[in-house]
Structure 1
Amino acid sequence: MAKVEKNKVVKFHYTLKDKETGEVLDSSQQYGEPLTVLIGANNIIPGLERQMEGMEVGEKKTIEVKAEEAYGPKDENLIQKIPIENFQGIELQKGMPLQAQTPDGQIINLVVVDFNDKEVTVDMNHPLAGKDLVFDVEIVDVRDATLEEISHGHAH
């Protein structure tokens, strides 16, 4: 039976939970189909991919992934204060997700942490940075990747 390993295309169902709170953060079930990835192409977080290696079709496993092998630790340098003038026309709320564009055109996701009449504190870390995660995984299918998939770095 095919096993999860480098250069295999793997379909799997998952439920992602915050290890600390147990809160369900995401699940393939809500999308109605399993996630499909090319193993070894950095398409999923390293800690999840590493611990899925060797699993077979039909196998279920609970996988714990430390923050360092998921979205990394929270970087305090990515929490910044920005003059409120940059937020004109926006009805700010704590926890509000926003997007900003850098001078070179890159889109950055950020969250409003706090604000007053002079400045807005925003967090540009990934929302799951600093969190230990738990994945309930079920392998649905494993197949050899095509040469095209390997050269493109993702499953087709």
Structure 2
Amino acid sequence: MIGRIKSNNKLFDVTSEEIAKKEGVYSEKDIYGPRLVVVGEGGSILDGLSKEVENMTIGETKKIELAPKDAFGQKDIANIKRYSERELIKKYKIEPRKSLGRRVNIGGKAGYIVNVSGGRVRVDFNHPLAGETVIYEITVNKKLKDDTEKIQQFINMYFGGVATEKFDFNILIDEKKVSINLPYPFSLMQGIGNVKFRISQSIFQFIENVENVEFIEVMEKKMFMPSEEHTNHDHPNHEHST
């Protein structure tokens, strides 16, 4: 998937590591590779794209142009607020002049400081791409039909790009029940309760006849035995003590 702003051809969304490097937007913090799209499910993909993807075939590539109303919305002047520089510093611990052009959080809302002048600060709470016509290029690599594979993809998606493929979740579907092994170190991750809730929610919504989902925390003896392998393995959101 590639997303560009029509007016300046600027790349803002990319799933290909090769293209990201070529365009100079590559980041080691980002996870590249095919993206799971749940057709018709809000939040998985823009509604304007979902309608097009639903009718695409495997291997097909399509360019899709979306007007602002079908993409990130029109820019709303009501979402541009003004604050005193002193208020942001004292109340929200934000240094406006150092944060110009950056994303900030004010009262639980994310916005961008767009102007600082005469002690007044203008913050734009619109989506950064509001008002822009965008062009996506999408290729359908595969359509998932196997329920176990669907569940594995839900796990990948909700763990936020952590390298889940290196671990065995041993997904079992037994009539109306789904069992998922939760290997260390995933069982100790921050926010694991919310992740389990969202995985379960997707299973109930998209896998037929399932009434129960259980997560089994797996602890192995080797985890407690210091070794070179243990000190070098992948740890999402976990650090060793010294």
Alignment TM-score, normalising by the size of structure 2? 0.51
Contact 1:15 1:27 in 2 (8 A): yes
Distance in 2 (alpha carbons) for counterparts of 1:112 and 1:98: 7
Contact 2:68 2:132 in 1 (8 A): yes
Amino acid at match of 2:32: G
Cross-structure match for 1:94: 100
Greater mean deviation of Cα atoms: 86-95 or 51-60 = 86-95
SS in 1 for 2:8: coil
Q: Across the two proteins, how many residue pairs are aligned to each other?
A: 135
Cross-structure match for 2:204: 151
Q: Confirm or deny that 1:29 pairs with 2:16.
A: yes
- Listed as ranges, the gaps of 5+ residues in structure 2 are 18-30, 148-175, 177-199, 207-242
Cross-structure match for 2:40: 40
Contact 1:81 1:122 in 2 (8 A): yes
* Alignment deviations for residues 21-40 of structure 1 (CA, whole Å, 9 cap, x no partner): 11111201143211102111
Cross-structure match for 1:17: 4
Alignment TM-score, normalising by the size of structure 1? 0.77
Cross-structure match for 1:114: 115
Cross-structure match for 1:135: 136
Distance in 2 (alpha carbons) for counterparts of 1:70 and 1:145: 31
Cross-structure match for 2:61: 60
* Alignment deviations for residues 94-141 of structure 1 (CA, whole Å, 9 cap, x no partner): 31221122xxxxx31111110124210000001111111100111111
Greater mean deviation of Cα atoms: 144-153 or 25-34 = 144-153
Higher RCO structure (Cα 8 Å, ≥6 apart): 1
Amino acid at match of 2:106: A
CA 1:75–1:145: 2 relative to 1, 3 Å: farther
Larger-gyration structure (1/2):
2
Greater mean deviation of Cα atoms: 59-68 or 41-50 = 41-50
Instruction: Please state how far the C-alpha of 1:145 moved relative to its aligned partner.
Output: 7.7
Percent identity among equivalent residues? 24
SS in 1 for 2:83: strand
Distance in 2 (alpha carbons) for counterparts of 1:151 and 1:41: 14
- CA RMSD between the two structures: 2.1
Greater mean deviation of Cα atoms: 120-129 or 52-61 = 52-61
- Listed as ranges, the gaps of 5+ residues in structure 1 are 1-13, 102-106
Structure (1/2) with the larger helix percentage: 2
Amino acid at match of 2:76: D
Q: Which runs of 4+ in 1 moved over 6 A?
A: none
Contact 1:38 1:145 in 2 (8 A): no
